[in-house]
Amino acid sequence: MSASAEDDRLARGLETRKEVLGTEHVERSLAAASDFTKPVQELVTEYCWGAVWTRPGLDRRTRSLLNLGMLTALGRNHELGVHVRGAITNGCTVAEIQETLLQTAIYCGVPAALESFRTAEKVLDELGAT
């Protein structure tokens, strides 16, 4: 792949990441990256946000709800909180977030879902969405 195509994907990824997660959050994450962690921040921006999130097969709302389920399954509550904000930005309703987390109770386990509900509720309260 050409350097130009990689640069385009990175630029698209940065734009998408900022649109979904908020410019302030993304810039804070990038600024906090050390020489050691900078490559993973670039990888996430280029491939997660530039190659996958920009694909036409799913809309952002659907991708957000999928992320909530996967992050619950993995027990990654910090990232879950970030993506609850992104889900609201992408037009998901509180009811859709709630239903997604209820679904995880059955397939991922009640303890994981309970922790995700706590994380999501905190973020939704901060956003004034509940």
pLDDT confidence tier of residue 7, bands split at 50, 70 and 90: confident
Model pLDDT, residue 6: 80
Enter the pTM of the model: 0.91
**What is the distance between the alpha carbons of residues 47 and 96, in angstroms, rounded to a whole number?**
27
Best CA proximity match to 71, nearest among 85, 83, 59, 54:
83
| Collapsed DSSP state (helix, strand, coil) of residue 76 | coil
Write down the domain spans for the chain. Answer: 1-55, 58-130
Model pLDDT, residue 16: 98
Best CA proximity match to 129, nearest among 78, 86, 100:
86
Q: Are 50 and 9 in contact (CB under 8 A)?
A: yes
Model pLDDT, residue 119: 98
Each residue's pLDDT tens digit, 38-84: 999 999 999 999 999 999 999 999 999 999 999 999 999 999 999 99
CATH architecture of 58-130: Up-down Bundle (1.20)
Q: How many CB atoms lie within 10 A of CB 113?
A: 21
